[in-house]
Chains A and B, each alone.
Chain A
Amino acid sequence: MITVRNLGKKYEDISGTIWPVRGVDLDVPKGRFLCITGRSGSGKTTLLKMLGGILDPTEGTVEVEGVSIYDLPEKKLAAYRSDKTGFIFQDYFLEDKYTVYQNIEVATMINRIPERNRKDKIEDALQQVGMLHKEFVLAQNLSGGEKQRISIARAIVTQPDILFADEPCGNLDAENGKEIMQLLRKQAQKGRSVILITHNREDAELTDEIITLKDGKIINYEN
């Protein structure tokens, strides 16, 4: 369960003070597939990063299972990111010169998964996204849709409770986008909270709940 209260982020700019996110209250139960939508610059990514323990908020709290993550020291906050969360990026962030296996292995190293267990976990994650047959292919030889599947496998290999997906279908065609959304839905069905950012209405409607942001504030909830 993620509980967010009065969350805000402030930047100082030459034009003055900017609040990309301000006064956000949110509850995300386990297994919920939540979509955060809004126009460019509405604060979606900033909110996602703060939920993911990547960006320190200026005000407010983010609690995960009762623990305020930004009160944690650096190492524990990093452990939160590694153990509890998985990130899926719009640009995949895969290493082209690494094999699919190596790309996913990086996450298992950070998660301190013992070497003897890694192969099974990586293959299990690849199986879940239907990419086991590409295990030893270089990432540079994959299509966009395949790369995003690998990105999902990397996010789920550590069996996190929460998945954050920042425009995962943004660089994909409609068919591949649909498949990625189905994969994310499956993860939610397994009991993981999935928080998705998109400005594609069709993708948003495949989720359980839609939150619309405008100027950093939630202006609409839809179930």
Chain B
Amino acid sequence: MRIKDIFRLIGYEMNHERTEWISSVIIQFIIYSMVLFLLAMAGNVDNMFCEYIRPAYPDGFEFELKGFTEKDIHTLEKMGFQDITIYEDRSEGTGILNDLDNIWLYKLTAIMNGRDIWSAKLDMILSIIFFVQFVFGTIGILMLLLMFNNISNSIAMKLDWRKKYIDMLMAIGCTQSICKKIYYGFFWFRNGMAYMAAIGWNSIWLTFMNQIMDKHIGITIENRYTSLNLVIEIGIVGSVIVLGLLLRQWGKVQWTEKIR
């Protein structure tokens, strides 16, 4: 079948049961927006706390470094540490960070390597950052799984509704692979709409939040969703996931015609 005709059949499919797929797009948009927002917040909490407490630490945040040697100074510098002092005999030292961005990522990486990065003075703040990031991140990931489940179920329902039509297409000469392409295209466009709307909404919302926060408390957060690269990367991963879910559900359908 010609590519143009595949697109035309996808278009016909979009006209079919429009109410069903529009409601599905709306549900996915809502869940996707919440996922993106929660993940953005989880990634920004450290920065927000950092900006909030910065006035109390005008010289930066001093950390104790355990298990590090002089060989690690370059790595520590890459993390943003300054004024690093390492006592080689005790494998201990101190270093100053200008901000707390990714502090838990650095700490957990250090722990996994049998080291530690900690600040007794910031104990409470760091614990709160971890708690908030953990809660936001966990809810975000759970909602992401919920969304995959929702997409998977909507694909299963669609294939179930269209089974007779797909059987007919195959009976009159369509190969399974063309039929899969038609439905992949359909789901790709459908989920793409929800995804683009959610990215757009988050981008606008985070920009607005930034303006308000900057104006009132002088704190800004990083709005990653204005990055085209990130949008494309998430889009590619999303496309692969939709393909995987479609193939999984396709394999579960008991096609009437056992065509090779």
Chain B residues within 8 Å of A82, by CB: 172-174
Q: Known interface pairs A75-B175, A78-B175, A95-B16. Does A110 touch B258 (Cβ–Cβ under 8 Å)? A: no
Q: Is the CB of B1 within 8 A of A110?
A: yes
Q: Is the CB of A154 within 8 A of B258?
A: no
Separation of A111 and B167 alpha carbons in the complex (Å): 16
Separation of A69 and B259 alpha carbons in the complex (Å): 12
> A142 at interface (Cβ–Cβ under 8 A)?
no
> A87 at interface (Cβ–Cβ under 8 A)?
yes
Q: Is the CB of A93 within 8 A of B16?
A: no
Separation of A58 and B258 alpha carbons in the complex (Å): 12
Q: Known interface pairs A93-B164, A109-B2. Does A81 touch B172 (Cβ–Cβ under 8 Å)? A: yes
Q: Is the CB of A110 within 8 A of B174?
A: yes
Of B5, B171, B178, B259, most buried by chain A (CB within 10 Å of CB) is B171
Separation of A155 and B174 alpha carbons in the complex (Å): 14
Q: Is the CB of A89 within 8 A of B173?
A: no
**Distance from A197 Cβ to chain B, minimum over Cβ atoms (Å):** 14
- Of the residues A74, A81, A98, A112, contact of B2 by C-beta under 8 Å: A112
Q: Is the CB of A109 within 8 A of B9?
A: yes
Which of A12-20, A27-35, A48-56, A127-135 binds B?
A48-56
**Distance from B195 Cβ to chain A, minimum over Cβ atoms (Å):** 26
- Closest-by-CB residue of B relative to A74 is B260
Count, chain A residues at interface, CB 8 A: 33
> B12 at interface (Cβ–Cβ under 8 A)?
yes
Could you mark each residue 186-201 of chain B with 1 if its beta carbon is under 8 Å from any beta carbon of chain A, else 0? Answer: 0000000000000000
Separation of A111 and B169 alpha carbons in the complex (Å): 11
> A204 at interface (Cβ–Cβ under 8 A)?
no
Q: Is the CB of A102 within 8 A of B12?
A: yes
Could you mark each residue 248-260 of chain B with 1 if its beta carbon is under 8 Å from any beta carbon of chain A, else 0? Answer: 0000000001111
> A63 at interface (Cβ–Cβ under 8 A)?
no
Q: Is the CB of B165 within 8 A of A95?
A: yes
Q: Is the CB of A110 within 8 A of B2?
A: no
> A64 at interface (Cβ–Cβ under 8 A)?
no
> B113 at interface (Cβ–Cβ under 8 A)?
no
Chain A residues within 8 Å of B164, by CB: 91, 93
Q: Is the CB of A97 within 8 A of B257?
A: no
> B170 at interface (Cβ–Cβ under 8 A)?
yes
Separation of A95 and B167 alpha carbons in the complex (Å): 13
Q: Is the CB of A93 within 8 A of B165?
A: yes
> A26 at interface (Cβ–Cβ under 8 A)?
no
**Distance from A115 Cβ to chain B, minimum over Cβ atoms (Å):** 8
Q: Is the CB of A87 within 8 A of B175?
A: no
Separation of A107 and B5 alpha carbons in the complex (Å): 11
> A174 at interface (Cβ–Cβ under 8 A)?
no
Q: Is the CB of A55 within 8 A of B257?
A: yes
Q: Is the CB of A98 within 8 A of B171?
A: no
- Of the residues A55, A91, A93, A109, contact of B1 by C-beta under 8 Å: A109
Which residues of chain B in 1-15 are interfacial with respect to chain A, using CB atoms and an 8 Å cutoff? Answer: 1-2, 4-5, 8-9, 12, 15
Separation of A81 and B176 alpha carbons in the complex (Å): 13
Separation of A106 and B1 alpha carbons in the complex (Å): 10
Listed A/B pairs (25) with beta-carbon separation below 8 Å:
A54-B170, A56-B258, A74-B175, A74-B177, A74-B259, A74-B260, A78-B170, A78-B173, A78-B175, A78-B259, A85-B173, A89-B171, A91-B164, A93-B164, A93-B165, A95-B12, A106-B169, A106-B172, A107-B172, A107-B173, A109-B2, A109-B8, A109-B9, A110-B174, A112-B2
